[in-house]
Amino acid sequence: MTPLHDVRAMVLARCSVATPVRVARADAANCIVAHDVVATEQVPPFANTAVDGYAVRSEDVANVPVELRVIGELAAGAAPTIAVTAGTAIRIMTGAPIPDGCDCVVMVEDTERVGTDGVNILKSVPAGAAIRAAGSDVVVGATVVTAGMRVTPMIEGVLASINATHVVVYPRVKVGVISTGDELVDDGSPLGAGQIRESNRTMLVRIVEEAGATAIDLGIIRDNEDELEAALRSAVSTGGCDALVTSGGVSMGDYDIVKAVLSRIADMNWVQVAMKPAKPFAFGTLLNPAGVSIPIFGLPGN
């Protein structure tokens, strides 16, 4: 019985690393970043307000309540055209740029509007309150994504925030998935004598996709050595698979055709893994027409 970590080490030692490629950010989802990503823009690009409220001078709201004159309104996406001066305030919305003269923002919840052009400030706030300084999240030159990280939706958002339109990643490998066995049924028809529903391939396809690869569903291969050999060779040639996963037929039975075929056409290791279920495991490589070694993972049907 071979410990799982030894089996993993054996597998990794025989798998090559894909050549990194530069892809559009939208195409990098779930890929692994190959090179660090360094910010060329700061985030946020300008000082802005973190809340809806009133842009004021902290010295004007040191003693509250105090009434200030509202001299304008500023929404996100608009550029300031007037400055805050002594005794005045500007109504400001979350994300809007901080106008000149302002050094803090009072939340709207801590104010009370007075007529059409006045506001009562009910809470004193210090300089800098509710202001997000330019570059307070990311400064130019900062490493925001490091090599080895997976491009999750959150990472994609970070890349968008610094205008990283492209990123260098390891490309998604294409993994062919095959289930073997005369007993398998996957078309919804009634089960005959000795038949069972196919489920391993269904599961493995999703596991491959969750791992960040592209799953190629190669269907069910019956217990026929010629058919299986043809399917495997096709998958690594015209199918362009970068790896193969098979389910079933790798144990010691007379009808374990996967073991028979792979022993003949591939360079295989046959392992009894110290885990249960799934003790029998096959791993090896099959040469494609270009002479590249394609990894094959032979999993037990059980």
Q: What is the mean pLDDT of residues 187-216?
A: 94
The residue among 253 and 105 whose pLDDT is bigger is 105
Tokens of 151: 């491009």
What domains sit in the chain, N to C, each tagged with a CATH number? Answer: 4-18+173-299 (3.40.980.10), 22-43+136-170 (3.90.105.10), 48-132 (2.170.190.11)
Residue 128 and residue 130: Cα distance in Å, rounded? 6
The per-residue pLDDT of the chain, averaged, comes to 95
**Could you say which DSSP state residue 256 is in?**
-
Q: Following DSSP, what letter does each residue of 65-111 receive, concatenated?
A: SEEEEEEEEE-TTPPP-S---TTEEEEE-TTPBPPTT--EEEEGGGE
- Express each pLDDT in 15-30 by its tens digit: 999 999 999 999 999 9
pLDDT at 188: 92
Number of C-alpha atoms within 13 angstroms, CB side, residue 178? 30
Quote the percentage of the chain above a pLDDT of 90.
Answer: 90
pLDDT at residue 254 is higher than 60: no
pLDDT at residue 249 is higher than 90: no
- At 278, the pLDDT band (50, 70, 90 cuts) reads confident
- Express each pLDDT in 123-182 by its tens digit: 999 999 999 999 999 999 999 999 999 999 999 999 999 999 999 999 999 999 999 999
- Which runs of consecutive H residues, i.e. helices, occur in 143-293? 153-161, 200-210, 225-236, 257-265
pLDDT at 293: 95
pLDDT at 252: 62
- At 204, the pLDDT band (50, 70, 90 cuts) reads very high
Longest dimension (CA), the chain: 92
- Express each pLDDT in 74-124 by its tens digit: 999 999 999 999 999 999 999 999 999 999 999 999 999 999 999 999 999
pLDDT at residue 268 is higher than 90: yes
- At 51, the pLDDT band (50, 70, 90 cuts) reads very high
Q: What is the mean pLDDT of residues 34-41?
A: 98
pLDDT at 238: 87
Spatial contact of 190 and 200, defined as CB atoms under 8 Å apart: no
Residue 301 and residue 136: Cα distance in Å, rounded? 54
Smallest Cα–Cα separation from 88: which of 115, 121, 112, 46?
121
Spatial contact of 65 and 121, defined as CB atoms under 8 Å apart: yes
Q: Can you give the pTM of this predicted structure? A: 0.79
Residue 193 and residue 179: Cα distance in Å, rounded? 19
The residue among 256 and 98 whose pLDDT is bigger is 98
pLDDT at 255: 61
